[in-house]
Chain A
């Protein structure tokens, strides 16, 4: 998964309110909330950065082990994919 690149799907809008990221999928009419770390990953899914780069940025920022970050990011991306909120570009 590390070399893959994802982007946020069209029609999903978000705002950061208090410490939460609120996502609205306008096509499905669904509302989702992400915690702060989830929200930051969401921001990094921009159709340019690879999964490996996202993991590296989190390791730097949160001082977590590469292994932990990798597990968390991959699990999170899989959830977003299943919810139809992101799509793979590469």
Chain B
């Protein structure tokens, strides 16, 4: 996949476009960054035009996310259309609405993978994070149906204060379900910049404990050259909100335009937001002179959300890099 993104960056084309098809959701996760503004969501027809434009641009992958994408009444039609227009689809969902029939439906489409979040190995813990009883059972059921239909499943564990110690059991459960295990420790402010979710983040001591529990490091960051781009946002990827707003990514909410006013082709090619990202390399950010860079995967979106500027750093990114450096030095 890296080669694919490199070719697209060279060509100046978005390989992967993130479509947030709704901000509505049936869960109430305590760490969620999404804010539902309740505006008019893009219609099926608007998506149809958008997909044609993206096809013209050369986009190959669509990442469909939310909110919970499956609460859209027309979600089947939308996914079917994406497949018919020859896109590869990544679907992010909580899995609550995936039954046998829906898993079978997905297996007929160009689905690359389905990604779901898991917050604990037991229903009490998982449900206490999602705020909805039964969400754990629905999640496990969804994963079983998806695997039965041979769909690749990624389960991502979001480590927070209330659940991080459960990581070993979660990993075992994920493997027993024949899914891929991932984790993340980066919790960000909400899209309205509220910092409420940050209190859930692991502190330095908890991060040390977490990484000692995870043991193997699935996350070995590739060596970075400071002349490279810092990330793919605005270079080979962008995000489009349910209201048509276009951003470099779902965290870096710098408005590049709205597809109800201008075509996505024009926004992608001409927006100042994208041009400015394309003009910068790692060395132009604070990360470029940071000694922790070899142990870090900087995320300018999360930095921007928290600090209001892409040129900075956050406590969680720095602490994670400190812990990973300690682990590397131990070896």
Residue of B with least CB distance to A22: B4
Interchain CA distance A63-B35 in the complex, whole Å: 60
Interchain CA distance A14-B113 in the complex, whole Å: 17
Residue of B with least CB distance to A20: B7
B7 close to A18 (CB less than 8 A): yes
The interface stretch among B84-92, B250-258, B293-301 is: B84-92
Interchain CA distance A22-B7 in the complex, whole Å: 9
B3 close to A13 (CB less than 8 A): no
A15 close to B112 (CB less than 8 A): no
Q: Which of A11, A13, A17, A24 contacts B13 (CB 8 A)?
A: A17
Q: Which of B11, B89, B110, B112 contacts A18 (CB 8 A)?
A: B11
Cβ contacts under 8 Å, B8 to chain A: 17
Chain A: interface residue total (CB-CB under 8 A): 15
Cβ contacts under 8 Å, A78 to chain B: none
Give the distance to chain B from A85, nearest Cβ to Cβ, in Å: 14
Interchain CA distance A31-B4 in the complex, whole Å: 7
In the complex with contacts A31-B1, A33-B7, A22-B110 CB distance below 8 A: no
Q: B2-60: which residues lie under 8 A (CB-CB) from chain A?
A: 3-4, 7-8, 10-11, 13, 58-60
Going nearest first, the 6 A-B pairs with the smallest beta carbon separation are A26-B110, A13-B86, A26-B88, A24-B88, A26-B112, A31-B4
Contacts A/B (CB < 8 Å), 10 sampled: A13-B87, A14-B60, A14-B86, A17-B11, A20-B7, A24-B88, A24-B112, A26-B111, A27-B150, A33-B7
Using CB atoms and an 8 Å cutoff, list the residues of chain A in contact with chain B: 11, 13-18, 20, 22, 24, 26-27, 29, 31, 33
